[in-house]
A = this chain, B = another copy of it.
């Protein structure tokens, strides 16, 4: 049997810097644990635009469609601010999500005990926090038609369309219920059913799927504005949150920030199973390309490393190895290792990106 394949797309900004550390980790698993991968690297985002005039070349998309897992760093940056919307770095990422049909985006919001004091929230509000946000990733207002800027009379009008079909809602709801069963067995679904018909359908379909196949899971519903409030007030009330593409974008960023673990949080974007049984999958840190610190060796590689841990768990069925990698991260944090983003005003001396990668390697 051939080794499973990983396509690495470092992207822009700090993407390549953090990905270098992940490559060290992948190599370690090959040598020390005999978990060997066929790794290939390609361009995405601004880096792809610079070379090909498009943020995602067809050849790259084809590689991604055939890879057992894709690891992505980050896309975007001020150098691309004036590009036309259709070739912006973000379009490359959105096209990958859409073409690979990665409908279920898992975003853990976890508070690492060693970092609880770094949160802007009080320690007891966030310590031990462990939420999983399941964000629908291939539909909604991100992709709905009609869209664009049109002229009406002598005015410009900006238009986007939120559009959700029953089956789009159903499949992401199922993935949330399945996850909940392996965690705290609770799902909270968030929308604005009091204002939007797409929210009414969302609530109805989630309720139907639940009644039909997941009645053992505790289900609640919350308006997204109330959800944002509750996340800020008492986040530990949640286990799994399932929500649409746009609400998921905002709520998961808020939740990530609450944990104080900025620069720490990974994500997995999963699609339907391929022929080999593995889901189509893309793994990426929640943080962006961080142009302000690019090239300075200051970036925190942990979010990207933990994204690879999610790949071990969800693509390669290597839960124990994922645990090993996550434990190594916890160990170095408990020992006081910090990159610059994790240091408050008092400040210990920060580790560089590669020093943090090495510390994690040493703890493995």
Q: Nearest Cβ distance between residue A198 and chain B, in whole angstroms? A: 3
Q: Is A158 an interface residue (CB 8 A)?
A: yes
Tell me which residues across on chain B come within 8 A of A251, comparing CB atoms: 228, 250
Q: Are A197 and B142 in contact (CB under 8 A)?
A: no
Q: Is A33 an interface residue (CB 8 A)?
A: no
Tell me which residues across on chain B come within 8 A of A229, comparing CB atoms: 253-254, 256-257, 262
User: Among residues 251 to 274 in chain A, which have CB atoms less than 8 Å away from a CB atom of chain B?
Assistant: 251-254, 256-258, 262
Q: Are A163 and B155 in contact (CB under 8 A)?
A: no
Q: How far is the CA of A5 from the CA of B32 in the complex (A)?
A: 79
Q: Is A125 an interface residue (CB 8 A)?
A: yes
Q: How far is the CA of A158 from the CA of B256 in the complex (A)?
A: 29
Tell me which residues across on chain B come within 8 A of A167, comparing CB atoms: 155
Q: Are B225 and A160 in contact (CB under 8 A)?
A: no
Tell me which residues across on chain B come within 8 A of A233, comparing CB atoms: 120, 257, 262
Q: How far is the CA of A76 from the CA of B85 in the complex (A)?
A: 41
Tell me which residues across on chain B come within 8 A of A196, comparing CB atoms: 141-142, 147, 158, 160
Q: List 13 interface pairs A-B (beta carbons < 8 Å), by A numbering.
A: A121-B121, A121-B122, A149-B197, A149-B200, A149-B201, A156-B201, A159-B197, A160-B198, A192-B249, A225-B253, A228-B250, A232-B258, A254-B254
Partner of A257 from B120, B155, B195, B232 at Cβ < 8 Å: B232
Partner of A226 from B162, B164, B195, B253 at Cβ < 8 Å: B253
- With contacts A149-B200, A192-B249 taken as known, whether A159 is within 8 angstroms of B159 at the C-beta atoms is no
Q: How far is the CA of A163 from the CA of B196 in the complex (A)?
A: 14
Specify how many copies of this chain sit in the oligomer. Answer: 2
Tell me which residues across on chain B come within 8 A of A26, comparing CB atoms: none
Mark A residues whose CB is within 8 Å of B: 76, 85, 88, 90, 94, 120-122, 125, 141-142, 144, 147-149, 152, 155-167, 192, 194-202, 205, 224-226, 228-234, 246-247, 249-254, 256-258, 262, 288
Partner of A163 from B121, B159, B163 at Cβ < 8 Å: B159
Which of A88, A156, A158: most chain B CB closer than 10 A? Answer: A158
Q: How far is the CA of A192 from the CA of B249 in the complex (A)?
A: 10
Q: Nearest Cβ distance between residue A263 and chain B, in whole angstroms? A: 12
Q: Are A162 and B162 in contact (CB under 8 A)?
A: yes
Q: How far is the CA of A246 from the CA of B262 in the complex (A)?
A: 25
Q: Nearest Cβ distance between residue A147 and chain B, in whole angstroms? A: 5
Partner of A232 from B224, B226, B230, B232 at Cβ < 8 Å: B232
Q: Nearest Cβ distance between residue A158 and chain B, in whole angstroms? A: 3
Q: Are A250 and B249 in contact (CB under 8 A)?
A: no
Q: Are B120 and A85 in contact (CB under 8 A)?
A: no
Q: Are B159 and A155 in contact (CB under 8 A)?
A: no
Tell me which residues across on chain B come within 8 A of A257, comparing CB atoms: 228-230, 232-233
Q: How far is the CA of A166 from the CA of B151 in the complex (A)?
A: 10
Q: Are B250 and A224 in contact (CB under 8 A)?
A: yes
Q: How far is the CA of A120 from the CA of B164 in the complex (A)?
A: 35
- With contacts A164-B157, A200-B149 taken as known, whether A254 is within 8 angstroms of B234 at the C-beta atoms is no
Q: Are B158 and A161 in contact (CB under 8 A)?
A: no
Q: How far is the CA of A187 from the CA of B20 in the complex (A)?
A: 39
Q: Nearest Cβ distance between residue A201 and chain B, in whole angstroms? A: 3
Partner of A142 from B165, B195, B228 at Cβ < 8 Å: B195
Tell me which residues across on chain B come within 8 A of A230, comparing CB atoms: 257
Q: Are A197 and B122 in contact (CB under 8 A)?
A: no
